[in-house]
Amino acid sequence: MTDHPITPPPELVQQWMNEIYDDPNGVDQFVSSDDRALAARAAQWGYLQHEKALLDAMHATELPPS
């Protein structure tokens, strides 16, 4: 999973965990590998949704008459 090009950096995952648990000082100094894997999958899913929306928009347009 970490070899995927859409993998959030550990610092960003730590920031997200701090925001989720509403702890500005940090919930922990270390983010577990499960947390990183979940964040990576969420980022990949979000990217795929964005890509699908772009493709749907492209296919929804009509070409001008030739």
For 30, phi then psi, to 5°, come to -125, 135
What pLDDT band is residue 3 in, cutting at 50, 70 and 90?
low
The residues near 16 (Cβ < 8 Å, ≥ 6 apart) are 8, 39
Closest CA to 6 of 46, 40, 55, 36: 40
Cα-Cα-Cα-Cα dihedral of 50, 56, 58, 62, to 10°?
-160
pLDDT of residue 2: 47
Single-letter amino acid code for the residue at 5: P
- Residues 13-66 have pLDDT tens digits of 888 888 888 776 666 656 678 877 888 888 899 999 999 999 988 888 777 777
Domain ranges of the chain: 7-41
* Whole-prediction pTM: 0.60
The residues near 18 (Cβ < 8 Å, ≥ 6 apart) are 24, 25, 26, 27
